[in-house]
Structure 1
Amino acid sequence: MPHQDGPAYYPVVAIISLASPVVIDFTPHQRLKEQEHTDRQNLQINELLGPVKMESNGSGSHECGATNESDPASSSLVLMPCSLLIFKDQAYTDYLHGIQDNELHNLDKVMNLSRCPELKHLSPDSIQGIMDEQHGTFRRTATRVSLTCRLVLKVHKKLFKI
């Protein structure tokens, strides 16, 4: 389920993956989707009005129109066993992250697949999973284990009283 870690993890999340490989998905936060919708509406209005002429240093004119410079597309990463994923800044604040709760993971939006050659060498006998390049999927056959690390600035003194 896509989610955003709360303020206890801000500003950095570090995830150590163990056992089975898994695909983690990053999807734009709702406010980015709303901004993209507003940008598209502005682009449609601008297309109706036509391009705008503006002077550049008095030396000539340039056409300019509304463009959608920020395309908040969804993307994914493969997390291999014994790997470390650190995300912060816009990846932390502007995107939700999550792992699908099923055995079959789609690889079509995976951005680091070329950096995971060991994923392609998994066989049906492997305890970690089975890759199907023809269909662009990975079947997870083992349990994923991970450690999520965070920096705790202040701990209540009586929290661990024995």
Structure 2
Amino acid sequence: MIAEKIPDWLHSLMDRISDFGVFGPYRANHVLINEYKPGEGIMPHHDGPLYYPVVTTVNLGGHSMLDFYYPITDDMTDVSFKSRYVGSALLMPRSMNMVTDSLYTYYMHGIEEKKVDYLHLIKNDFDSSSFFADPDSEIEKKILNLSQIPQWEDLADQLERKTRISITIRHVPKTRKVNLSRLFKGTFS
């Protein structure tokens, strides 16, 4: 990965997250900022081996639901999202989530394209997760982090998605310094 200058306003956020020790002995050196409008999502994927196997995301604006899936293997007979679904993390506004260990290296993650998340409680299985019926999805959602959300009992049955800004902060072990303007000099004239 080619290193570029990170804007000064992001350094304090990167430093605060690095100070938690989430990247081991390393410091955050990579930031990705995305905007998701209601109804937008991202297909289930792996981030790949380029990054230190921890990702932190600061969630601003609206909420979202980060879904986790088993990866497709050669011996699977059913590769549908429903058959591979593991669970979801409810990403609340002004929160930070961290994905690490096998949740990062083995499982795939994505955000379903939706405008509303339905939280009609139909079963609490007493293992810090709850199941919710969703009429717009074939998947019965299992929210893995529900007990960590303050006043989750007060959440509405339907959460309408609003524009969400995600600030993803990571450590990239191998970067190269390249003068991009010199590299592409005259290319776009």
- TM-score range (shorter-chain normalised) is 0.5 to 0.7
Q: 1:118 to 1:145 in 2, by over 3 A?
A: farther
Give secondary structure in 2 for the equivalent of 1:2.
strand
Following the alignment from structure 1 to structure 2, what is the Cα–Cα distance between the partners of residues 148 and 8? Answer: 15
Following the alignment from structure 2 to structure 1, what is the Cα–Cα distance between the partners of residues 71 and 118? Answer: 21
Following the alignment from structure 1 to structure 2, what is the Cα–Cα distance between the partners of residues 90 and 161? Answer: 39
Cα root mean square deviation, aligned? 2.6
TM-score where L is the length of structure 1: 0.58
1:105 positional shift: 2.3
Q: Superposed, which structure 2 residues align to 1:1-162 within 5 Å? A: 1-31=43-73, 34=75, 74-107=86-119, 108=132, 109-118=142-151, 121=154, 131-132=156-157, 137-140=158-161, 142-159=162-179
Which stretch of structure 1 is more off in the superposition, 78-87 or 110-119? 110-119
Gaps of 5+ in 2: 1-42, 78-83, 120-131, 133-141, 183-189
Q: 1:151 to 1:98 in 2, by over 3 A?
A: same
Following the alignment from structure 2 to structure 1, what is the Cα–Cα distance between the partners of residues 154 and 160? Answer: 13
Contact 2:50 2:173 in 1 (8 A): no
Runs of 4+ residues deviating >6 angstroms: none
Following the alignment from structure 1 to structure 2, what is the Cα–Cα distance between the partners of residues 97 and 91? Answer: 8
1:110 positional shift: 0.8
Q: 1:6 to 1:159 in 2, by over 3 A?
A: farther
Following the alignment from structure 2 to structure 1, what is the Cα–Cα distance between the partners of residues 55 and 176? Answer: 21
Select the structure of larger CA radius of gyration: 1
Letter of the structure 2 residue corresponding to residue 155 of structure 1: T
TM-score where L is the length of structure 2: 0.51
Following the alignment from structure 1 to structure 2, what is the Cα–Cα distance between the partners of residues 106 and 3? Answer: 24
Identity of aligned residues (%): 38
1:29 positional shift: 1.2
TM-superposition CA deviations, 1:31-79 (whole Å, max 9, x none)? 3x847x7xxxxxxxxxxxxxxxxxxxxxxxxxxxxxxxxxx86100111
Following the alignment from structure 2 to structure 1, what is the Cα–Cα distance between the partners of residues 114 and 52? Answer: 28
